[in-house]
Structure 1
Amino acid sequence: MSCCAHHDEFDSAFTVDASRVTFGRGCVREVGDRARALGMTRVALFSDATVSALALFDTARQSLRDAGIDVVAYTDTRVEPTDESFRAAAAFATDVAPDGYVSVGGGSVIDTAKAANLYASHPADFLTYVNAPVGAGAAVPGPLAPHIACPTTSGTGSEVTGIAIFDLLSLHAKTGIASPALRPTEALVDPDGTDTLPANVVACSGLDVLSHALESYTARPFLRRAAPPSPSRRPMSQGANPWSDLGSREALRLLGRYLERAVTDASDREAREQTMWAATLAGIAFGNAGVHVPHAMAYAVAGQVRRFHPDDYPGDEPLVPHGMSVILNAPAVFRVTAETDPARHLDAAGHLGADVRDAVAETDAGTVLADHLIAMMRAVGMPNGLGAVGYTGADAAALADGAWPQQRLLGNAPLDVDRAMLADTFARALRYW
């Protein structure tokens, strides 16, 4: 045992990590100055086909050029990335050999830039860094090139986390790479980027934010997580802690007040700006606490989809957007987890705007929270449970098998999870109204 390893069974401290965040309308114009200050001279500018056609992308590219920086754009990012699309991006980065990265787009774009930076900086077999048990879960051996993330959706929080998520095609399941090294150096969070988002994209990404906040708030408390073998190996997903609670509570309050407005009225700039701020707060929260069962289940829902394709998303291939795949499980999950800390679940419902005045935490928390989540889902046009995106009760076992490899997330749940519990929860998530 090393000299500084914990001798206790459980951890007794938590660590706060965050990117530098600049928030405000028009702040993407700062990217050239920020990049130059980080020493960048040749930037790989990541985006996707949709975002690269927007004025915001041109603003970022021009800002970089005005700062005297050589810019090489990569706009082939896939929405909902795969191991193949990550490999293609890494090959591009290896070939271009930039000394810095800028990502302008949603979580798919930011995650793709993270992966390209990782494999170009520290080449390895693809599965080397992928979370165990799917991959080897190897530690990133050193620092990456600086990365400035400019999110265009009020959702994933990827701009402030060290996580990159993708579909592993051979498994028909999502998995990811998680390391503090992947966390972007800086985030420029410009609400102007959300003004052009279609309603369903705002809804799905906003509900992902809600899940980040709610899962972080209800995660296994950090004092109930096993002590790391050494302090430097404390996981990013360290469980609910006082720091993550702050961001989670405020994100829930903002979403309860503004999300429906942001979805139903594209001209409501206040609502879209406040939803973007909630996304930043929830990203910082779950980047330090971690999410749990709804997200673990979501990776199976997205990975096994057969026919469903949502409105407002490009292409026509089967797709359950990430935020949708998460929120469809959430009411069923929180009915189960409420018993682990009824007061905290009821408190979360109250922050979201539920009427909790006559509720008794011990008996009502799960129902009040689940019912309020369902009401919010209906208000922003979500499908009625997993059945509405093509699943039936016959799929519950296969979905449970798909979620089971997400041990990094399941281990962060406030209760012990087994396959039977997952299958039962999938079954309960088929229909809500």
Structure 2
Amino acid sequence: MAGRDRIVHLLRQLEKAACRCPAHSHTFHQASGHDCGRKTDYAFEMASSNIRYGEGVTREIGMDLQNMGARNVCLMTDNNLSRLSPVEAVLESLVQNGVNYKVYDNVRVEPTDSSFKEAIAFAKKETFDIYVAVGGGSVIDTCKAANLYACHPDADFLDFVNAPIGKAKPITGVLKPLIAVPTTAGTGSETTGVAIFDFEKLKAKTGIASRAIKPTLGIVDPLHTLHMPERVAANSGFDVLCHALESYTALPYNMRSPCPPNPINRPAYQGSNPISDVWSRHALNVVAKYMKRAVNDAEDVKARSSMHLASVFAGIGFGNAGVHLCHGMSYPIAGNVKTYMAKGYNVDHPVVPHGLSVVLTSPAVFAFTASMCPERHLEAAEILGADVSNTKREDAGLLLADTLRQFLYDLKVEDGLSAVGYTKDDIPDLVRGTIPQERVTKLSPREHTEEDLTNLFEASLKLY
């Protein structure tokens, strides 16, 4: 008996002395937080929507909704897509399977806080039990937000928006199922818990980032990408390119701070990690092989199908690792647009498409970040077709920058920020719009100042 008491006493002493990290402690759930003596994180978590891929797989969505017991479905799309074959295919499947639905087709391309709120108001008027998003990232992100706030009717809009613009409150409530049917090959929004919008007051993009809002299922039907105009295919592909490059070169997860006091506080964007690396690297290989073919020939089913999958691959990669400077700097580029009207987009307002706003700074950004992980920058340049056999580590950034410039030139990308309406006088506003994007900019492998951001924007005014 004395021996048993001694063992119990020893176990209690060990419990008091032990690290309270969830990886090491069975008592973690009893506490509201923990402190294992680290300033940086020690773990990463992989999350992704279920993905179904195949030509014509859209016809199954009605059966999915029936299987899920859907009684009243909210289908969201944009006004242009509402008249095209992807939406027609979804509606046909819903009708054939007797699914009751209502359509919201007023999603804005490059959504704003105002357009998000309009969609949220629509969602709150009804009692929807499942959401379906048919479209590109704008549609899927809008649908995520509508689902979130309809399930949290008393929440203020800024409650879940990323800090420092919003309050970044953890999402603890359960959302309704959401099925995403992507029609572009770029954002990867069908895989991620991220919803991006233009915050009109600041003329910069921000968003909501939480695993809670990721779609339940992404139905990836490559036939839907065949309708994309050439420039839409190009700009969507540039988003895939930068998702892959930024997540692969992001600050490693175990160098990101702070270490979260509770798993619910661990961000969706956690830094590069061994699992995300696999997805990001593979996506980059697919982009290198198929993107030019997909842009130049809308009937190249193999190329467009491959880019659709690459979008998913990169989405899983960056959805867990995160992106950094190209995306952080892109938000004010898109948000401060004056008169530029992108070709191939059926919109009635000035717009710098997301993928274009991201890729315009990529040569300058990767020349800047390469010193922190030159091997990864060299590997990326080699995947994109560069000869790295005689390249020194210190020249990795310049090589990748030159490789990207040639890639963009071949795909007829506008000659820098000046070609989409910006001048040197606009740079202070662009820098100010980048500063609040710390959710992503802090994942840059190289620390940066406002002066660094100014120099990067200046270097991006012209590309060639």
User: How does the TM-score come out when normalised to structure 2?
Assistant: 0.91
For 1:75, what is the secondary structure of its paired residue? strand
- Quote the residue 1:335 is aligned against: 367
Aligned partner (choices 93, 97, 103) of residue 73 of structure 1 = 103
**Amino acid in the other structure paired with 2:407:** M
**Amino acid in the other structure paired with 1:297:** M
Aligned partner (choices 361, 376, 383) of residue 344 of structure 1 = 376
Shift of 1:346: 0.5
- Quote the residue 1:169 is aligned against: 200
1:252-401 to 2 correspondences below 5 Å:
252-360=284-392, 362-401=393-432
1:182, 1:3 → 2: CA distance?
Answer: 24
Shift of 1:316: 4.1
1:88-103 to 2 correspondences below 5 Å:
88-103=118-133
1:77, 1:339 → 2: CA distance?
Answer: 41
1:352, 1:189 → 2: CA distance?
Answer: 25
1:425, 1:402 → 2: CA distance?
Answer: 14
Shift of 1:418: 2.1
Extract structure 1 runs of 4+ deviating beyond 4 A: 1-5
- Alpha-carbon contact 2:170-2:265 (below 8 Å) kept: no
- Alpha-carbon contact 1:100-1:146 (below 8 Å) kept: yes
**Amino acid in the other structure paired with 1:224:** M
Q: Which structure 1 segments of 5+ residues have no match?
A: none
- Quote the residue 1:183 is aligned against: 214
Q: Tell me the percent identity.
A: 48
Would you say how many aligned residue pairs link Structure 1 and Structure 2? 432
**Amino acid in the other structure paired with 2:54:** G
1:399, 1:327 → 2: CA distance?
Answer: 15
1:122-141 to 2 correspondences below 5 Å:
122-123=152-153, 124-141=155-172
- Alpha-carbon contact 1:5-1:230 (below 8 Å) kept: no
1:9, 1:203 → 2: CA distance?
Answer: 41
Shift of 1:428: 0.7
Aligned partner (choices 59, 84, 93) of residue 63 of structure 1 = 93
- Alpha-carbon contact 1:52-1:58 (below 8 Å) kept: yes
1:350, 1:403 → 2: CA distance?
Answer: 30
Shift of 1:179: 0.9
1:27-42 to 2 correspondences below 5 Å:
27-42=57-72
**Amino acid in the other structure paired with 2:380:** A
**1:68-90 Cα shifts (integer Å, max 9, x gaps):** 22011111111010111111101
2:272, 2:284 → 1: CA distance?
Answer: 15
For 2:227, what is the secondary structure of its paired residue? coil
For 2:52, what is the secondary structure of its paired residue? strand
Deviation larger for 22-31 or 348-357? 348-357
**1:192-249 Cα shifts (integer Å, max 9, x gaps):** 0100100000000000010000000000001101221123321111000011100111
Shift of 1:40: 2.0
Shift of 1:417: 2.3
Shift of 1:171: 1.2
For 1:176, what is the secondary structure of its paired residue? strand
- Quote the residue 2:142 is aligned against: 112
For 1:98, what is the secondary structure of its paired residue? coil
2:33, 2:365 → 1: CA distance?
Answer: 41
**Amino acid in the other structure paired with 1:423:** T
Shift of 1:66: 2.3
Aligned partner (choices 222, 227, 243) of residue 253 of structure 2 = 222
Q: Which structure 2 segments of 5+ residues have no match?
A: 1-30
Whether 2:236 is the aligned partner of 1:205: answer: yes
- Quote the residue 1:20 is aligned against: 50
Aligned partner (choices 231, 238, 241) of residue 273 of structure 2 = 241
Shift of 1:104: 0.6
2:224, 2:134 → 1: CA distance?
Answer: 9
Distance 1:3 1:312, change over 3 A: closer
Shift of 1:161: 0.6
For 1:158, what is the secondary structure of its paired residue? coil
For 1:408, what is the secondary structure of its paired residue? helix
**1:88-147 Cα shifts (integer Å, max 9, x gaps):** 101111112210000110000001100110111102221111111111111223111000
Alignment RMSD, CA only? 1.2
1:229, 1:344 → 2: CA distance?
Answer: 31
**1:285-332 Cα shifts (integer Å, max 9, x gaps):** 011000011000000100111111111111342110000000001111
For 2:316, what is the secondary structure of its paired residue? helix
**Amino acid in the other structure paired with 1:89:** A
Shift of 1:5: 4.5
Whether 2:151 is the aligned partner of 1:151: answer: no
- Alpha-carbon contact 1:40-1:100 (below 8 Å) kept: yes
2:113, 2:127 → 1: CA distance?
Answer: 21
1:35, 1:340 → 2: CA distance?
Answer: 48
2:145, 2:121 → 1: CA distance?
Answer: 11
The structure number with the bigger radius of gyration is: 2
